[in-house]
């Protein structure tokens, strides 16, 4: 690997793209070689020497060691399909949430030729939270009812958040259960008595909330609450850059933040 890791950011003109450029500029181990966005710009944007559209990004991607994506599912899908050859051998760090089966299939295909890391949330604290709730679920057992409450800004389009779903998956794993079989999204009307083992999800949207996640284990005699609140989206960008530094140069395959943080 070169002394300075060369990065391309997909979704460069978004809020996360701007934050990534700002943090990378202050990191002596990183350099931004350009960005990819819907409309390329000859002069680039703040923090980016050049920004290209997906169809015009091959040369830019080939000049990089890692590509960090915070865009949208359809944009990531186009990037992975149109620039699959250019991405070969480059670390791919994807933070886009709300991914469907087609995006996951393309990520699996990319992982045959490149190291690929995806995460619902790149916050170091949130990933520690995921490890904690899995252990708590294993220790407390299904006798404790579980409710997950997440809050985000009014512009967030998917619900429950990818992080909330990842927390639910961690809890289900701790209980050796299938999340799809025990998941319930909200309650309204007369849903009936709560079945044992159910994992409830509740989404709050409003204002400029960066991201809050609360996991409640509710027993007959006590309640255990584990909470994470983000105050600045730089938290997520910092974790993504840490992941890119760790991932670059590793063998092809799928990776996650637990491996980056040594939580496995």
Which residues are marked as active site? 152, 156
Q: Is the dihedral of CA 154, 155, 160, 162 positive or negative?
A: negative
| Cα Dmax for the chain | 63
Contacts of residue 195, Cβ cutoff 8 Å, sequence gap at least 6: none
What is the rounded distance in angstroms from the CA atom of residue 18 to the CA atom of residue 12? 7
C-beta separation of 100 from 72 below 8 A: no
What is the rounded distance in angstroms from the CA atom of residue 123 to the CA atom of residue 128? 9
223 three-class SS: strand
Cis omega (within 30 of 0) on the bond before 160?
yes
């Amino acid at each position: 690997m070169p002394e300075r890791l060369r990065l391309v950011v997909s979704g460069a003109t978004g809020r996360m793209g701007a934050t990534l450029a700002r943090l990378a500029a202050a990191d002596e181990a990183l350099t931004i070689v350009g960005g990819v966005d819907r409309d390329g710009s000859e002069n680039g944007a703040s923090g980016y020497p050049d920004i290209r559209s997906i169809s015009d990004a091959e040369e830019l991607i080939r000049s990089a060691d890692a590509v960090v994506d915070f865009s949208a599912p359809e944009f990531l899908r186009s990037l992975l399909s149109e620039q699959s050859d250019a991405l070969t051998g480059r670390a791919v760090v994807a933070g886009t949430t709300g991914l469907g089966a087609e995006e996951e299939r393309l990520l699996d295909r990319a992982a045959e030729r490149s190291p690929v890391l995806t995460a619902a949330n790149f916050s170091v604290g949130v990933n520690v939270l995921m490890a904690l709730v899995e252990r708590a679920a294993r220790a407390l057992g299904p006798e404790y009812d579980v409710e997950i409450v997440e809050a985000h800004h009014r512009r967030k389009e998917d619900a429950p958040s990818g992080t909330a779903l990842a927390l639910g998956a961690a809890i289900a794993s701790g209980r050796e259960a299938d999340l799809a079989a025990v998941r319930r999204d909200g309650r309204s009307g007369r849903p009936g008595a709560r079945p044992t083992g159910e994992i409830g999800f509740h989404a709050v949207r409003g204002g400029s909330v960066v991201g809050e996640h609360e996991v409640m284990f509710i027993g007959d005699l006590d309640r255990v609450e584990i909470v994470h609140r983000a105050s600045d989206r730089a938290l997520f960008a910092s974790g993504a850059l840490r992941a890119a530094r760790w991932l670059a140069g590793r063998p092809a395959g799928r990776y996650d933040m637990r491996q980056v943080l040594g939580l496995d």
